């Protein structure tokens, strides 16, 4: 039955993609993040559902009436320069046998992102893309949260098997990235009725269950990222007192509901010198930094840890630096931290300009998602996640829509033309 359900879901996604090509972007996000076929039992588990849908989406995009050119944004050439640099470092990698397959894998992840830029042509479409990303992880996290609560948090929650989000650590971070997007959905749909109200309620219900899922992942990196995200969400909360009381009550109740083994594992964060896993990670980071100082331009290429050290990098920052040298790290850092700066400026701008006040929650919540990613990236090698680059491109679209609305209103009202435009960075 599950296999037939996946086939029906795929067929429906293909049909709506042909009918409304922009919905294909949402369908790709759902199949790429939720991976429903991974929960089947038979032939559907190995069916290339994403590739089939991707082919349909590209064909539909070619004939789409409503599409746009690539936005004028510095992050697009930086992204493609980074991709090109990956090719250079792969070509000179001392372990080409591992680097070339990884480049192909990463390229397959990056290719569909262009569809977001040309088919998501307005803020309503952007909202539903962000909502789809949030719910793709939120649905699985809600299931994991219920599992964790009913099992007394004694067992770990895992993501879809065989995906880049399958590990308990990876799924915990991906869930935290999705939480601000679910909050955005709840805020944007406030006061709506009908099915939109149901979507809002679903988003609100998914948030606490997602937090429970992260706790039940037993991920130390997830706990650190949860702390960072909690501070950011508290800062932007409209109900700071209520949130503070809720967190304090949860902290006081935690010893009654969480097993002692969970606390013992989390305590190793502060006693990392006595934890073999933590010390092995530090050794890998030291080896990676030492190698890149000796090979500062090209690094070791994809999966360079196989050549440089004994285990995976377990840090996106070390991974990008050791595998692609200082040029790759510079491009990657410019892309990610430049997006944080851009979202911050949009949020600041939206507070002062009623014409684009709608953009503030988008900028704030997307920034919170990126902060959750960056906190998780401290102890996980998640440099090449499609989720990261999807968020960057969503930020590119947000900036484009903000600029478009400001310029359109200024053109319609000559008196506004003299006012500073304040286009987002």
What local confidence, expressed as pLDDT, does residue 415 receive?
Answer: 56
| Domain ranges (residues) in the chain | 124-270
Please say whether the beta carbons of 393 and 116 come within 8 A.
yes
All residue ranges of the chain with pLDDT < 70 are: 270-275, 413-425
Cα-based angle 418, 420, 425 (whole degrees, multiple of 5): 150
What local confidence, expressed as pLDDT, does residue 238 receive?
Answer: 77
What local confidence, expressed as pLDDT, does residue 237 receive?
Answer: 82
- pTM of the predicted protein model: 0.91
Please say whether the beta carbons of 284 and 250 come within 8 A.
no
Q: What is the DSSP string of 169-225?
A: HHHHHHHHHHHHHHHHHHHHTTT--THHHHHHHHHHHHHHHHHHHHHHTT-HHHHHH
CA dihedral (72, 75, 80, 81) positive or negative: positive
Q: Given the structure tokens 């308990």, which residue do they identify?
A: 168
Query: What does the block give as tokens for 353?
Result: 């300009």
Gap between the Cα atoms of 230 and 137, Å rounded: 18
The DSSP symbol for 153 reads T
Gap between the Cα atoms of 239 and 227, Å rounded: 18
The DSSP symbol for 233 reads H
> Quick check: helix, strand or coil at residue 162?
coil
CA dist 29 → 54, 190, 279 (Å): 10, 24, 36
Dump pLDDT digits (tens) for 378-406. 999 999 999 999 999 999 999 999 999 88
Gap between the Cα atoms of 369 and 364, Å rounded: 9
CA nearest 36: which of 149, 143, 120?
143
> What Rg value do the Cα atoms of the chain yield, rounded?
22
What local confidence, expressed as pLDDT, does residue 46 receive?
Answer: 78
Query: What does the block give as tokens for 269?
Result: 């964060």
The DSSP symbol for 163 reads S
Q: What is the DSSP string of 286-332?
A: HHHHHHHHHSTTTTT-TTTHHHHSSS----HHHHHHHHHHHHHHHHH
Helices 316-352 and 276-294: crossing angle, nearest 10°? 90
Gap between the Cα atoms of 373 and 380, Å rounded: 10
What local confidence, expressed as pLDDT, does residue 264 receive?
Answer: 85
């Amino acid at each position: 039955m599950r296999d037939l359900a996946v086939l029906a879901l795929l067929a429906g996604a293909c049909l709506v993609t042909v009918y409304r090509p922009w919905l294909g972007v949402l369908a790709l996000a759902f199949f790429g993040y939720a991976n429903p076929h991974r929960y089947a039992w038979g032939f559907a588990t190995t069916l290339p559902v994403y590739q089939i849908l991707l082919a349909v989406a590209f064909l539909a995009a070619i004939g789409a009436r409503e599409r746009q050119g690539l936005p004028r944004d510095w992050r697009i050439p930086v992204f493609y320069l980074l991709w090109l640099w990956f090719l250079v470092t792969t070509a000179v990698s001392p372990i080409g046998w591992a680097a070339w397959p990884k480049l192909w894998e990463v390229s397959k992840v990056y290719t569909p992102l262009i569809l977001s830029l040309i088919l998501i042509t307005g803020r309503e479409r952007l909202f539903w893309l962000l909502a789809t990303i949030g719910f793709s992880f939120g649905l699985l996290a809600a299931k994991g949260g219920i599992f964790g609560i009913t099992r007394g948090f004694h067992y770990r929650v895992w993501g879809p098997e065989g995906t880049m989000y399958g590990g308990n650590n990876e799924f915990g971070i991906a869930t935290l990235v999705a939480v601000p997007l679910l909050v955005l959905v709840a805020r944007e749909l406030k006061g709506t009725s009908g099915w939109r109200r149901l979507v809002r309620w679903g988003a609100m219900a998914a948030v606490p269950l997602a937090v429970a899922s992260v706790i039940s992942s037993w991920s130390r990196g997830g706990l650190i990222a949860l702390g960072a995200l909690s501070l950011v969400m508290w800062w932007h909360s409209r109900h700071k007192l209520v949130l503070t009381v809720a967190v304090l009550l949860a902290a006081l109740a935690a010893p009654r509901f969480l097993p002692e083994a969970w606390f013992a594992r989390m305590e190793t964060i502060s006693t990392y010198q006595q934890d073999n896993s933590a010390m092995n990670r530090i050794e890998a980071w030291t080896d990676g930094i030492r190698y890149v100082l000796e090979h500062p331009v090209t690094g070791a290429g994809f999966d360079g840890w196989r050549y440089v050290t004994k285990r995976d990098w377990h840090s996106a920052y070390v991974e990008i630096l050791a595998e692609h040298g200082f040029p790759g790290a510079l491009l990657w850092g410019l892309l990610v931290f430049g997006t944080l700066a851009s979202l911050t400026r949009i949020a600041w701008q939206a507070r002062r300009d009623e014409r684009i006040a709608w953009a503030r929650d988008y900028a704030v919540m997307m920034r919170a998602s990126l902060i959750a990613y960056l906190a998780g990236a401290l102890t996980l090698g998640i440099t090449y996640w499609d989720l990261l680059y999807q968020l960057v491109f969503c930020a590119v679209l947000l900036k484009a829509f903000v600029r478009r609305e400001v310029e359109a209103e200024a053109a319609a009202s000559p008196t506004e033309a003299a006012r500073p435009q304040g286009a987002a960075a």
